[in-house]
Amino acid sequence: MKKTFFIPLLIISSSIFVVQLSGCSSGANAESRKKKQPPQHILVKKIQKTVFVPEFSTIGKTGPNMEVVLSMEMAGKLKNFDIEPGDFVKKNQVIARVRTLGLWSQRKQASSRVNEIKTSLEQVTRDYSKMKLLSKQGVITSREFELQELQLKTQKSQLDMAKANLGQIGENLSGTVLKAPFSGHVTAVAQSNGNFVGMGTPLGRLVDLSTIRIKVGVIESDLQAVSIGSKVKVTINATKRKKFIGVVKFISPSAEQLTGTFPVIIEVKNSGFEMNSKTSSNSGKWEIIEGMTASVTFSRNPLKGFFVPVDSVTRSGNKHFLRVLDNKKSVEKKEIRIILLHENNYLVEGSLEEGDIVLVTGYSRISEKTKIIPKFI
């Protein structure tokens, strides 16, 4: 009986001892893991105040600074009209003429009439001087002197009328010759020699591409950043996105009904085409031509502040925070206010100082006792 009673107690006691040893071993391992937590490599960034110029862009089409539809001031048969699309013409170069019957003979007659009246006026003027002297001496009556004076006035009036008639004929003759109002390129031709054209009939189109005009639409909220004379950046897709500097020349006082935007005109100096004034030859071609797509970038007022990576900002409710590493490598949580987003960075303000080290990523893995190894970006 004693043997059968003694053996179970021994087994129970041994089991309790094993459980206690197992429990102690588990607690010791947990404490060991807690003490041996490895240091964490955290991406950080040292912040400095930066000046930032916000920008906005809009799209427009290029056009000539000056353009004109070529036409005659007098009707007639077209001649000497030898230009072709793409030709370059200089200012005051004769482009075309029209043949108008009778004008040259009318001018000759009018010129002869002017000379005739001038000769007669000279004689009347001499007679008037003599009659004036005789009138003072009492040799002739006052009536005779008044008639001579009236004849002088009539001759002067007739000369004025003859000169006016000659001038009018001269203007009509000048209307038979078409001269280029400015230097530029011919973009279209609508008539040919031998055609009868009326006054104002379109003959072609002339444009000046030395300065390019770009018309863009600016929305109401951006209009305050645009001013006459301000410089803008212009990018032309067709010129391998080459950048040009433009100047704002016009801001419309009213918005377009269809788009709701305010038309703004920018001028850009063109390059690439050269005209030799001595030889009257030209070379090269304009970098910017009519109808190209242009991106115009306007600058707003500059901002100065701290830019931090988007990933460094955390949010709790309606508040935003940064985690800042001090000299003792402890982490401080600072509240900030986001001003704007630019290229994956926030412009922020708050209780920050230049040189602060901001945690960018990995802050979710750290605790108060975690050893931090900063890695600067």
pLDDT score of 88 = 93
Residue 344, burial from CB neighbour count under 10 angstroms (0-12, 13-18, 19+): exposed
**Superfamily classification of domain 101-175:** Helix hairpin bin (1.10.287.470)
Report how far residue 109's alpha carbon sits from residue 118's, in angstroms, rounded to the nearest whole number: 14
Cα 325 from Cα 47, distance rounded (Å) = 12
Minimum mean pLDDT among 76-85, 145-154, 274-283, 295-304: which range?
Answer: 274-283
Token duo for residue 88: 């370059």
Stated pTM of the model: 0.65
Give the pLDDT confidence score for residue 251 in this predicted structure. Answer: 96
Q: Which two tokens stand for residue 240?
A: 């391998």
Is residue 218 within a helix (H) or strand (E), and if so which, with residue range? strand 202-218
Residue 234: how many CB atoms within 10 A of its CB? 24
Give the closest residue to 352 by CA, choosing from 4, 46, 74, 90.
46
In this structure, the number of other CB atoms found within 10 A of the CB of residue 258 comes to: 7
In 3D space, the residue among 361, 360, 356, 315 whose CA is nearest the CA of residue 338 turns out to be: 315
Overall size of the chain counted in residues: 377
Average pLDDT, the chain: 85
Q: In sequence order, which residues have a C-beta less than 8 Å from that of residue 231 and are 6 or more positions away?
A: 245, 246, 247, 248
| Predicted confidence band of residue 273 (pLDDT cuts 50, 70, 90) | confident
Alpha-carbon gap, residue 212 to 267, rounded angstroms: 6
CB 172 within 8 A of CB 74: yes
Instruction: Look at 16 and 149; give whichever has higher pLDDT.
Output: 149
Which fold does the domain 40-53+302-376 belong to in CATH? 2.40.420
Token pair for residue 265? 């005109």
Q: Which residues partner with 349 through β-bridges? A: 337
At residue 362 the predicted structure's pLDDT band, cuts being 50, 70 and 90, is confident
Which residue spans of the chain are classified as CATH 2.40.420.20?
Answer: 40-53+302-376
pLDDT in tens, 150-175: 999 999 999 999 999 888 888 888 88
For residues 268 and 215, is the Cβ–Cβ distance under 8 A? Answer: no
CA neighbours within 13 Å on the CB side: how many for 37? 14
Q: Which residue has the tokens 């004008």?
A: 103
Residues of the chain with pLDDT > 90: what percent? 55
Query: Are 275 and 88 a contacting pair, CB within 8 Å?
Result: yes
CA 127/CA 122 separation, integer angstroms: 9
Residues of the chain with CATH 1.10.287.470: 101-175
Rounded to 10 deg, the angle between the 103-137 and 142-174 helix axes is: 160
H/E element, 173: helix 142-174
Tell me the C-alpha distance between 47 and 152, whole Å.
95
What average pLDDT does this structure show over 234-252? Answer: 92
C-alpha to C-alpha distance for 150 and 152, rounded to whole angstroms: 5
CATH topology of domain 58-65+208-299: Elongation Factor Tu (Ef-tu); domain 3 (2.40.30)
């009509």: which residue's tokens?
172
Tell whether the model's pLDDT for residue 352 goes beyond 80.
yes
Which of the residue ranges 35-49, 103-117, 292-306 would you say has the lowest mean pLDDT? 35-49
Buried/exposed code over 54-91 (b: 16+ C-beta within 10 A; e: otherwise) = eeeebebebbbbebeebbbebebebeebebeeebbbee
Q: What is the dihedral of CA 243, 247, 250, 255, to 10 degrees?
A: 40
- Give Dmax over CA atoms of the chain in angstroms: 193
Q: How far apart are CA 225 and CA 244, in angstroms?
A: 20
Q: Is 371 helix (H, G, I), strand (E, B) or coil?
A: coil
Q: Quick: pLDDT tens for 102-149.
A: 777 888 888 999 999 999 999 999 989 988 888 888 888 888 888 988
